[in-house]
Every structure is written in structure tokens, then in C-alpha cells.
Chain A
Amino acid sequence: MTAAPQVFYDEMCGLDGGVLPHYRGYADWLASIPPDRLTQKRREAEVMFHRVGITFAVYGDETGTERLIPFDIVPRILAADEWATLERGLQQRVKALNLFLHDVYHEQAILKEGIIPPRRVLENSQYRAVMQGLDVRNAIYAHVAGVDIVRAGKGEFYVLEDNLRVPSGVSYMLEDRKVMMRLFPELFARYQVAPVDHYPDLLLDTLRQAAPEGVADPTVALLTPGQYNSAYFEHTFLAQQMGVELVEGQDLFVRDDTVYMRTTRGPKRVDVIYRRIDDDFLDPQVFRPDSILGVPGLFGAYRAGRVTLANAIGTGVADDKSMYPHVPDMIRFYLAEEPILANVPTWQLRKRDDLKYVLEHLDELVVKEVHGSGGYGMLVGPAATMTQRAEFRERIIAKPDNYIAQPTLALSTCPTFVESGIAPRHIDLRPFVLSGREIRMAPGGLCRVALKEGSLVVNSSQGGGTKDTWVLEQ
């Protein structure tokens, strides 16, 4: 692969401009709608989001602590067979990732077989030595995974990232659908769109399945860093939808390796914690001692098998960008299957040849920090200025281990309603994959869209928006 070509696969029109069969009904409808009606609908959508208060906080922004994520009223539509492939691919991938996590924290067969160099895992900053030999319930580590998927080239899907720590965004998937159904009921009457609103039920069921052995009617709580966290809206939303308590560290305490909530009727035992706090902050006695978000003694209760954490501690070692290139091999190793979903070709800059190639082709590539997230600390070569590239080059040379590079993917576009009217904008997709006795997900996922013309960065912290994703039922 070389520099991004100028032709992009379009979700509605493919590569040659003809409307694809699964978009035909929508395209006809769209063509029949006067533009000012769309403008009015967009305004209605904004009012709804403001009223519901679906906002997010932007780190480092002192003044506007809450902002709306822009919402685009044109849906992204996936045909039933496209989704069926994605679903199978995701199940396969997440299954292998959970097997990998169990393996590295137990026998380490994959390291002993030489499939992955042991150093890469054991010296990874995301590897948690305290998890070594510890059995987690049902051997599931990543109960909730948010896998980022893009479509590129001639329309083939690629996995861009496996988010196995505390993936967020699912509330937008659910609220986007609610708003779309209020705005365009006639479209839902015409189209058979697979529903997504059972996601909270699936999530609660997954969490309850993870309860410690012998607990018949487990109490689940969602642990949030608090209302100034950027994803706080989502935490409250999910807690409410599941009907579980939304707790902060201060609401919990540990006595005799058992976790309790402080309630108006005295202490109440908690069995499963859906935690939306990073490993480092969970327990000041074991991890960061300065953490005021966590619960002293929590790890002890966890080790004793008296409480389940979802996701487990130490999942970061599997979704780290330096581990990403090895996921296809994990699938082959644990499942003896060929990966259904492809990885994006990745140069690992700790390898001399790769480093050399990348430095020579900085203007064509995307370079990412191995531990970065949220679109921070990355260089999009073709869009960067000479100075930015020169600066980044210095950083790479100083610490090549810290970076990987990927070709600038010709991300697919989707029709989007922007200032100038309907125009193509680049998108991605984050389905949320739940692992319990089975691996399940709500059809579709969060579709993120780069609203700036030509931009390939879809992160909400970088000016991206969201779209409703429709998976058509056959």
C-alpha cells in the first residue's frame, strides 16, 4: 500500500457511483426531501440532544465543561450479509483475545511456542504481574470490547483497534437510534432496521453471569470516576438502563475481603463491579497510591474471588498497539482458524527495517503512539505540515519502541449532511462485543464520522461526530 488514493469506497455508492441495493430505498427518500426540511430536522435533533443532556467533557477545556457531540442525521446502513460477516469475525477475534489473556496470565503457551516474543508481553507496561496465576470467573477477561472497524480500498473491512479496557460510546449508539426514530418514524416503517435497544439487557446479563461462584442473585454496580469524567453521561445512562447502582469509590468499602456499598439501610454487599475506571486507579493499596477514585482493599477482595471486576485487571496487554499485529496469530494459535477480519498492515518501529521504511515515507503514513488513545499523539502524514512531520520524526527517533505506523487507509465515506448539503465524509464503526457464556452484540455499533472535509480522524475529542448505524434485517 502507498499514499491514499483519491477514490474512496462510499457506503451508499461503492466505488463506481451507482447506488448499492441496500441503500436504494433510502437514496430515493433522500432525493425526495427538500434541503430545508433536513436543516429543520437537524435543528430538532440538536434540541433533543441538548434537552436530554447528552454531553461530553473535553479534557483540558476549562471553560466549556460540557459539549454536544455533533450528530449527523444521515444513517450509515449495513446490509444483512455484511453484518453477518462482521459479527462472526468479531466473535472469533474477541474469543481469541480472551484466550490470549488467560494464557499470558497462566501457562503462557503462546510465548513458550515462540508465537509472540515473551519480552513483548512481560515487559509491556500494560502487563499486570499481580494477575499472574489468578483465576477470573469463567476465564473471561474482556467482558466488554469495543472493536474499531473501518472499511477501505474496494470495500473490505479492517480491524483498526481492539479496545478491551473501558471502551465507551455505546450510549451514543443507543441515543442516536432513539433520536432517529423520533425524527424519521416513516423511514423505520419502510426499512427493517435491526433493533439495538436491548443492549443494556445483554450487558446486565453478561455481568450477572460473571458473578462469583455460589452467588445466586448477584448485585451489580457500575463504578464511575464521577461526574467530571468525560464519559459520565454514559455511566449514568447505562446504570439507569440496567437498573444498577452507579457508585463512586467513596461509596464502596472493603471488610473481610468483601466489597460493600454504603446505603441508607446500612452496608450492602456488591458482587460484580462494571468498572469504568482504569486499572491504575482501582485500589490505592496495590496500584497508584494517590488514587482517590478507587477503593482500598478492592484488589484483595478480587484476588479472593469475592467480587468480579468487568473488565478484568490487565486486559490492556492485549489491546496495546504493540500487541495488535499479533492478533491474527492468536486466532490461528488458539482457535486453529484463519482470521475472518483483517488487520491493517502495521510497521513496528522497534524493528530496524520498519523504522527505516517509515522514516522515508512519513508523508504517506499514519504513525501512532503504542499506548496512545483518543486520537492524541498521532501523526497523519499526508495531512501534516512539514514542521509537524519534522517534529514527529525527532520523537520517533528518540523512542522508536513507542510507535507503530500504518498506511493512510482510504477510509470509506458515507453521505453526511454538512453545511454545504449532503457530502461524503469518512467514517468508522465501533461494535460493542459482550463475552459471557456466549459472545453477543447489538447489531451495528457506534458510527463515528469525521465532519471536516477530507479529515480521517473520527474521534469526538478531535471534532468527530456520530451517526446512527442501521443493520438491515433480511
Chain B
Amino acid sequence: MLSRTANDLFWMSRQVERAENTARMLDVTYRMSMLPYRVMEPGEKWAEPWAVPLVITGLATTYYQRYPELTAENVLRFMVLDASNPSSVYSVLQHARENARAQRGAISVEMWESLNETWLRIREKSYGTLTAEGVSAFFDWVKDRSHLFRGVTFGTMLRDEGYQFIRLGTFFERADNTARILDVKYHTLLPSIHDVGGAVDYYQWSALLRSVSAFNAYRKIYRDVITPLRVAELLVLREDMPRSLHACMNQLYEILQELSAGAKLEPERLAGEIHAQLHYGKTERIFAVGLHEYLLEFLEKLQSLNDEINRHFLVPVYA
């Protein structure tokens, strides 16, 4: 398969996954913003709930260049519909569709039609229609379109190399996003130390779990109160939880083994290394390091993996 094609397919599915995860992240922020707490520490502006999506996507600086004030409306405009923000839901869906358009020959007709339809619909949205429909309803729609796209891909695409690069993009982006969403909690301060384990704390954890469709799974598995230790276990280490880091690395390692086709390439080795750390990891160890630090380190390794994937498959250089 052409490297350029593989690159476009990888990014196509990454962008769709990113749209979904941005929607999830904004949805959890939206839910948290309705909770009865505010930031106590003066000067800690980023602890406002609406600053969270900006902090974890690394877009705070760009945001403040454009919008002087941190308001729900401004953040939604910026993160959802702003065409000048390359990470807005609008922009990533546009890029996904452009990539699909460039590679129509490599994907199924249904996949293209699905992405094109999504793009045609989001083009019609404005802040007015967003609030009229309900913000959560919009986020559900984005998630639905992403689910649909994955389902269409699963149901119609030839199981060729292109299919593997599409899956690679999906799980790569998902691993990245789950790590970032999990880190949300680190950035949201509680009103006071007495609130730890209290109602607000509970609502924050449950909102976070819901944002990655893990609330019911939590209940099913633990049948007990929500604790940070278990949330971390569920979203980092449990391989039966489809959005956990471990589950994502299972997929990434398997895909990269297949793509290496026995050639023992560096991306496969590195994915194996990251995978092993999760596979044999323990929650106690994570909390000994600190969840935030652990997640940062994971994101760094993911970045190195990205570089290796580029070098070996997506943007190779021949003399």
C-alpha cells in the first residue's frame, strides 16, 4: 500500500476518533459545570471547568488569543464550530472527510458516504442550532456518527493493509484521549479537602466514567462506591474495558505485529514494551508514581511510537 494512502487512512480514523473524544470531553465538562462547586484558589483560572478541555488539548494559549473571556459559550464555539481551530469538531471532521476524499479508492463506498454525510450535516450547524437542539444532543450525534463510521468500516471494508492502518489510527487516538480525559480529574480542584469522597467528588468521578461509557461497567464490576484507585484500574489496566489504555495497547500491538509482517520493526517492539507495562502493571504502582505523572509518561511513549510509525510506514524517506 502507498505510504501516502496509509498516512491518509491513519489520519482519517484518528480525526473521527478525535471528534468523538472531543465531544465526550466537552460533554463531561458540560455536566461538571452544572455541579455546585467553584474554584477556591485565586489565580488558578485553569481550574474552572470550562478551562479543562483547553488545558488537556493544549489549546489554552490559542483560545485566549481569540477570546478574552472564559465562558461556556466561547469554549463551545471554539472547540465545536471554529474553523480556524484545527482541533475543533468541525475541523477534524473536515480533515477526516478530506482524507477520505483523497483515498476514496482505498475505502468502501459506504465509508465515504458516511463521512461525507457527517461533513455535510456539521456544515449546517451554528451556535444557534447547537443550543436550540441541546448541547448534549449534539455531542450524542457526534458520538453516533463516529460509532456509525466504525461500524460501517467493520461491516464493509476489505480486510487489507488499509483496514489495519484505519484501526491503528482509531486505537492510537483513543489511547491518547483516554489518558487525557482521565487526567481531567487532576485539573479539577475540589472546593476543600473535606469534599474528597463527598457528593461533588462522586459526581465528578461518575461524570468522567460516563464520558468514556464506563459508568455501568464500573457498577457491574465493583458494585461499590467510586474510588480513584478503581477508576484508574478500570481505565488504565483492565483489558476488557474497550476504551482503557490496556485495551487500546492490545489492539495497537497486535496491529503493528501484523503490519511488520515478521520484519521485527521498531514500532512493533516499542508497542510491545508499552503493552507489557500495562499488561503486568499494578494500580498501587501507578499511585506510587502519581496518576498524573503516570499518564504524562504514557503520553510521551505514545509520541515516540507515533514517530516510529511515521518513519517506518507513513512518511518513509528513500535516498
Contacts and interface: CB of A to CB of B under 8 A. Distances in A.
Contact of B261 (A250, A251, A265): A265
A251 B117 CA distance: 29
Interface stretch (B88-96, B102-110, B190-198): B102-110
A200 to B, nearest CB: 11
A227 interface: yes
Given A227-B102, A264-B259, A245 B109 contact: no
Nearest to B164: A264
Contact of B316 (A237, A246, A247, A262): A262
Interface in B2-42: 2-6
A377 interface: no
Contacts of B109: 52
Contact of B2 (A51, A227, A237, A247): A247
A236 interface: yes
A240 B110 CA distance: 13
Interface of A: 50-53, 227, 233, 236-237, 239-240, 245-248, 250-251, 253, 261-267
Interface of B is mostly: helix
A253 B112 contact: no
A51 B5 CA distance: 22
B222 interface: no
Contacts of A233: 104
B1 A263 contact: yes
B2 A251 contact: yes
B3 to A, nearest CB: 5
Contact of A227 (B101, B106, B165): B101
A237 B104 contact: yes
Contact of A240 (B104, B113, B261, B318): B104
Contacts of A50: 120
Interface string B217-255: 000000000000000000000000000000000000000
Nearest to A268: B2
A251 B6 CA distance: 12
22 contacts: A52-B109, A227-B98, A227-B102, A236-B102, A236-B104, A237-B105, A239-B105, A245-B1, A245-B2, A246-B5, A246-B103, A246-B105, A246-B106, A248-B4, A261-B2, A262-B3, A263-B1, A264-B1, A264-B2, A264-B259, A264-B313, A265-B1
Given A261-B2, A262-B2, A51 B318 contact: no
Interface of B: 1-6, 98, 101-106, 109, 112-113, 116-117, 120, 161, 165, 259, 261, 313-314, 316, 318
B4 A250 contact: yes
A255 to B, nearest CB: 8
CB-based closest 6 A-B pairs: A240-B105, A236-B104, A239-B105, A264-B313, A236-B105, A262-B3
Contacts of B5: 245-246
Contacts of B261: 265
Given A50-B120, A51-B116, A52-B113, A263 B2 contact: yes
A12 B313 CA distance: 57
A251 B105 contact: no
A53 B3 contact: no
Nearest to B1: A264
Contacts of A227: 98, 101-102
Contacts of B102: 227, 236
B145 to A, nearest CB: 15
Nearest to A48: B113
A239 B104 CA distance: 9
B117 A51 contact: yes
Nearest to A244: B105
Contacts of A239: 105
Contacts of B161: 264
Nearest to B117: A51
A370 B128 CA distance: 54
Given A246-B105, A264-B3, A53 B116 contact: yes
Contacts of A267: 318
